[in-house]
């Protein structure tokens, strides 16, 4: 499956992008604990005869990373705390599920009936700490946690695929989230390697020679959102998307944490 996105970018001292190409891998198996995601991606790319170039970005849904890293949790064994019990009565959720959320969180930010918004241990604000019950076997009371260190997971996959193809490959690991003031979930980046996640345009000039004061572009989140169009949220089974033609500054020191707004600057906390 392909998406070609036409785009003109008139930023100073950067190449103008006229198009990017998004390709969803079609032949990935259902990932099991212990399975090497990078090897499965290499197999799919090879079997589908897709060419790999320097600067390609591979977007990977966090769910297959979590599955490969065996981030499953049987919540039936959890002992809910007093906080979990109190929240369960306020939002009408299983206290054991709430305890799993609290275990993965730094603090509760907001809640209302059916919804618990927390600051995840990784730093971002997320509903239910990103804990998921969709697309996993529900015969037992099992949930799937986010990867423990998505940036490190992205680094290992980037290095493995880059070495195999002898190309400079970047990785983003994606999830979906809701947004203040907007309906609908969108893709965002929770882990990355070898990509400039946040493009700082402050100090540059616009078309009318005005200096940009606050403009920062969440490049990795934009690519994650575009990739989510192909990944889908139900039974599409396309958790990996190859992004070709996006020109950016590759930087091993830039990771997904650069996208997290500090609490002091966050108007919604």
pLDDT of 95 higher than 80: yes
Q: For position 258, what pLDDT does the model report? A: 80
Q: Where are the domains of the chain?
A: 17-70+147-260, 72-144
Q: For position 257, what pLDDT does the model report? A: 81
pTM of the full predicted structure? 0.87
- Tracing tokens 């190409």 back to the chain, one arrives at 21
DSSP string covering 89-153: HHHT--HHHHHHHHHTEEEEEEEETTEEEEEETTS-EEEGGG-B-TTS--SSSEEEPPPS-HHHH
Class of domain 17-70+147-260: alpha beta
What percentage of residues in the chain have a pLDDT greater than 90?
Answer: 63
Burial class (CB in 10 A: 0-12, 13-18, 19+), 208: exposed
What are 118-168's pLDDT values in tens digits? 999 999 899 999 997 776 666 678 999 999 999 999 999 999 999 999 999
**In whole angstroms, what separates CA 267 from the centre of its chain?**
23
Q: Burial letters for 68-90: b for 16+ Cβ neighbours within 10 Å, e otherwise? A: bbebebebeebebeeebeebbee
**H-run or E-run covering 42:** helix 37-47
Q: For position 244, what pLDDT does the model report? A: 95
Specify whether the CB–CB gap between 173 and 150 falls below 8 A: yes
CATH of the domain spanning 72-144: 3.90.1660.10
Specify whether the CB–CB gap between 20 and 212 falls below 8 A: no
At how many degrees (to 10) do helices 82-91 and 95-103 cross? 120
Q: For position 208, what pLDDT does the model report? A: 72
């Amino acid at each position: 499956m392909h998406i070609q996105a036409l785009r003109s970018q008139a930023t100073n001292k950067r190449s103008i992008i006229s198009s990017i190409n998004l390709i969803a891998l079609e032949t990935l198996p259902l990932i099991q604990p212990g399975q090497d995601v990078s090897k499965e991606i290499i197999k799919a790319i090879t079997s589908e005869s897709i060419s790999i170039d320097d600067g390609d970005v591979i977007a990977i849904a966090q769910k297959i990373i979590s599955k490969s890293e065996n981030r499953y949790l049987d919540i039936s064994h959890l002992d809910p705390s007093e906080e979990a019990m109190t929240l369960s009565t306020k939002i009408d959720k299983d206290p054991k599920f709430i305890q799993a959320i609290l275990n993965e969180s730094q603090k509760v930010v907001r809640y209302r009936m059916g919804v618990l918004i927390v600051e995840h241990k990784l730093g971002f604000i997320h509903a239910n700490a990103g804990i998921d019950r969709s697309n996993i076997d529900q015969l037992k009371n099992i949930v799937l946690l986010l990867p423990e260190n998505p940036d490190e997971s992205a680094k290992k996959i980037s290095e493995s695929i880059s070495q195999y193809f002898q190309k400079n490959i970047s990785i983003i690991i994606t999830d979906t989230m809701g947004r203040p003031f907007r309906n609908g979930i969108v893709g965002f980046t929770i882990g990355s390697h070898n990509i400039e996640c946040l493009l700082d345009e402050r100090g540059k000039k616009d078309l009318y020679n005005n200096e940009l004061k606050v403009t920062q572009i969440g490049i990795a989140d934009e690519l994650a959102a575009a990739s989510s169009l192909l990944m889908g949220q139900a039974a599409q089974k396309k958790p990996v998307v190859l992004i070709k033609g996006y020109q950016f500054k590759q930087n091993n020191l830039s990771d997904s944490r650069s996208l997290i707004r500090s609490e002091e600057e966050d108007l919604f906390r």
